[in-house]
Amino acid sequence: MSQLTPDLHANYAENAKKYEEELTLKGWFRNIYQTIVSVSKGMFITFRYVWAEKAVTIEYPEVREVLPENSRSRLFNDAENCISCLQCATACPVDCIYITATRRDKEAEKIKTKDGTPIRLDLKQYTIDTALCMYCGLCTTVCPTQCLTHTTDYEFASYTVDNMKYDYLADDVRAWRDRIVKD
């Protein structure tokens, strides 16, 4: 043993003596007996898991998990029903929703959302930076027309961060609607 810190070693030895009784031959055999008994009890439980318990894991790419209905995953905005009220952008704690809208001309044709709310603003831009989004669900709860929803789609990994920015007015993003949004 090194002599660098004699106090430390002396203390350690003293502590060991304080807490542990001296090892007798009887105690040595008792230790072995206790170890064998407790470990074999544990092994019995472990082996039960091998045969008696059902497997709980799934083999992912072949078997796909269906998430529960109100699971909060990829966001989808149905831009036709959006009234550009900016409530989602205000509620967002990380400011990842970007909206630009212009006021509709008074002479223009009057349009309404699915539930009958008149649309007074033209939506020019509706972008969500999904890489920033933390899926807290505050934006979907404040949406008055229920056009912004969480879908249960969880496979949206991409190679670049730029791809994570979804422009909900672009055609390719709107095409998801058929795939993931169930009416």
Partner 1 sequence: MHNELVSHLNSTVSGCNATAVTPEIGDSSIFVDASHIKAVCEELATGEWLFHTLQVITGTDYEDRIEVSYILCSYTKNNELILKVKLPKPTSDSIPEIDSVCSVWKAANWQERECWDMVGVKFNGHPDHRRILCPEDWEGFPLRKDYVVQEEYHGMKVNPAEKINNADHHFFKKIQETLEDPKKISHSWKGE
Partner 2 sequence: MAIELIENGEAIKSDLLTLNMGPQHPATHGVLRVEIKTDSEIVAEAIPHIGYLHRCMEKHCEHLDYRGVIPFTDRMDYLAAMSMEWGYALAIEKMLGTEVPKRAEYIRVMIGEMQRLASHLMFFGVYAIDLGAFSPFLYAFQKREFILRIFEEISGARLLYNYYWIGGVWNDVTDAQLRRIAKFVEEMKEELKKYHTLVGENKIFIDRTKNVAILTPEQIYSFGASGPVLRGSGLAHDLRKDRPYSLYSELDFDVQVGHGEKGTVGDCWDRYHVRMREMHESIKIIEQCLDGIEEGPVMGKVPKIIKVPEGEIFMRTECPRGELGYHLISDGGKTPYRLKVKSSCFTHTSMLGEMAPGQMIADFVATIGSIDIVLGEVDR
Part in contact with partner 2 (CB under 8 A); list of ranges 10-18, 103-111, 115-123, 124-132: 10-18
Distance CA 42, CA 115 (A): 61
146 binds partner 2 (CB under 8 A): no
Closest CB to partner 2 among residues 92, 128: 92
Contacts 24+ apart (CB under 8 A), 143-146: 143/87, 143/88, 144/83, 144/85, 144/87, 144/117, 145/81, 145/82, 145/83, 145/113, 145/114, 145/115, 145/117, 146/81, 146/115
5 binds partner 2 (CB under 8 A): yes
Residues found near partner 1 in the complex (CB under 8 A): 84, 86, 89-90, 95, 97-103, 121, 124-125, 127, 129, 165
Strands (E), 5-163: 75-77, 97-103, 111-112, 118-119, 121-129, 148-150
For residue 133, the partner it binds in partner 1, partner 2, none, with Cβ less than 5 to 8 A by kind, is none
Site of interaction with partner 2 (CB under 8 A): 1-5, 8-9, 11-12, 15, 19-20, 31, 34-35, 37-39, 41-42, 45-46, 49, 56, 67-68, 70-72, 91-93, 134-138, 141, 150
